Amino acid sequence: MSNQRAEGRKLAILAADGFEQIELTSPKEAIEAAGGETKIVSIEKGFIHANKHREHGDSFHVDMSLEEAKADDFDALLIPGGLFSPDALRTNDRAKDFVSKFFEQKKPVFAICHGPQVLISANLVDGREVTGFPAIQQDLRNAGGKVKDQSVVVDGGLVTSRSPDDLGDFNAKIVEEICEGKHARQLESVTA
């Protein structure tokens, strides 16, 4: 892991029921180990339930609802994958608006596995280099993304990854990018 320090950096983790547990916990631990802070944001307050592949996972306390959360209060955003969480988020207008604000504010956004589906529905993929779980790579292409089949793809503050197998590379990039701060390229996909 990197020696970079993320003190004073705050990561929003946007998830709903049915997220892939390791895709939330592993990056969360990486940011916290580097000195950063994390908050779980979801559609409603209470608890959200994880999956461990096809099995039920643990429950996680939601720190704030989308109604309460503001992109202004965070330095970066993480969208874990899983089969059900991205589906719930991509059809939620507040979730899409929350994600879009990070791009408008030129802040790093991290999405893994099926997480990039939220970016597709928020119209944030067109012209960007991305990756995702193999089953959604064609969806990313259809949305105008330039898909690369790599463990992690970085495009001006947008960091995407394929699956839990790639978490080592993904976590290292998350820490690096949150330490770097804002990226001018993030805004291009919103204003283009």
Q: Which of 49, 61, 114, 183 is catalytic?
A: 114
Residue 180 located in a structural domain: yes
Q: What pLDDT is recorded for position 5?
A: 79
Query: Catalytic: 49?
Result: no
Rounded to two decimals, the pTM is 0.93
For the CA atoms of 43, 160, 25, 76, the dihedral, rounded to the nearest 10 degrees, stands at -60
The verdict on whether 114 is a catalytic residue reads yes
**Number of domains forming the structure of the chain:** 1
What CATH number is given to the structural domain containing 158? 3.40.50.880
Which range marks the domain in which residue 173 is found? 10-191
Q: Is residue 4 part of a domain?
A: no
Inside any domain, residue 40: yes
Has residue 124 been placed in a domain? yes
pLDDT (tens, 9 = 90+) of the chain, 192 residues, equals 445 678 889 999 999 999 999 999 999 999 999 999 999 999 999 999 999 988 899 999 999 999 999 999 999 999 999 999 999 999 999 999 999 999 999 999 999 999 999 999 999 999 999 999 999 999 999 999 999 999 999 998 999 999 999 999 999 999 999 988 776 666 555 544
Q: Judge whether 112 lies within some domain.
A: yes
Catalytic residue among 53, 56, 61, 113: 113
